[in-house]
Amino acid sequence: MSHHHHNVKGKNLFLTIILNLGISIAQLIGGLLSGSMALISDSMHNFSDVLSLVISYFAHRIARKPASIEKTYGYARAEIIAAFINSATLLIIAAFIIMEAVQKFGSNVKIDFNIVIGLAFLSILVNGASVLLINNDAKENMNMKSAYLHLFTDMLTSIAVLLGGLAMKFFSIYYIDAILSIIIAIYLIYSSLGLLLESLKVMMQFTPKGMDIKKLEADIFEIAGVKNLHHVHIWSLSDKEFILEAHLDLTEDIKVTEFEKILLQIEEILKKHQIYHFTIQPEFDREDCKNLIVKKESNDEQDKSHHHHQHHHH
């Protein structure tokens, strides 16, 4: 069932790519013919979407590939990287639009507003349809969300361009589309910055959002036979899969089968925290740093602390 759902998703995305490629080309030609900077920038914006959708489409397909000996995690991160690239390109395009619009302020050149109005309207229809096509998938997935954002901001851009065209037609205000481009670009920066940071946090292996390590530690301490939990690392593989590794200090020198009973209890606790992949290293009376979070030391630092420990024992 779920497999079927993925196919539908991919198909919808593919359709939006074709639609958007068409509108980008149409707007670029229209912009050159009419002399409207707003149309050209809208076309660039649309084309950036085509790129981002292509990235999302391939990332989405790649992420489903199975893991292998060379790639033990499979391609689960592909979508995160796609979201990162998408949001980064959006920021660059927004900066480009602002620069162009600022340059355009001075010149009040006449623009063929009928072309602008027609193509902006067409773009609203295309982007509106695309947004509806991938709306459901955007809620549950960072990569799809970035594609969705692209399309949605595109629709807004085109609405602004349409209004600009109407203002030119009825009031002959030709600088209006420069103002609108700047407003849209600022919105673009605002919307893609969050996604850029979110995907960066996953790539930096930061603790997943909403994960309460202290609460997790407290829950594990309640299990009989547990003395200490340390060397904890929790990270996200994709925006849905979390992984934990830790060392577990035991109060007694128990058999492996007895440890596995403790492990079952830990598994239950981790599931409550949405962690399904984990590695626990059992220990009894082992000399190592007992801190909950440990950063790897370089060799000379280790030697120093080792000397210090030895000294301590005498």
Model confidence over 82-103: pLDDT tens digits?
888 888 887 888 888 788 778 8
Average pLDDT over residues 157-168: 88
Q: Which residue has the tokens 């600009």?
A: 164
How big is the CA angle at 193 (ends 190 and 196), to the nearest 5 degrees? 160
Whole-number mean pLDDT of the chain?
Answer: 80
pLDDT of residue 312: 45
Provide the CA 281 distance to its chain's centre, in angstroms: 32
pTM here is 0.67
Scored b (16 or more CB within 10 A) or e, 71-95 reads eeebbbbbbbbbbbbbbebbbebbe
pLDDT of residue 21: 92
Q: How confident is the model at residue 107 (pLDDT cuts 50, 70, 90)?
A: low
Lowest model confidence (mean pLDDT) among 10-14, 84-88, 303-307: 303-307
Model confidence over 179-236: pLDDT tens digits?
777 777 787 788 788 888 888 888 888 888 888 888 888 888 888 888 888 888 888 8
Q: Which domains are present in the chain?
A: 2-203 (1.20.1510.10), 213-313 (3.30.70.1350)
pLDDT of residue 302: 47
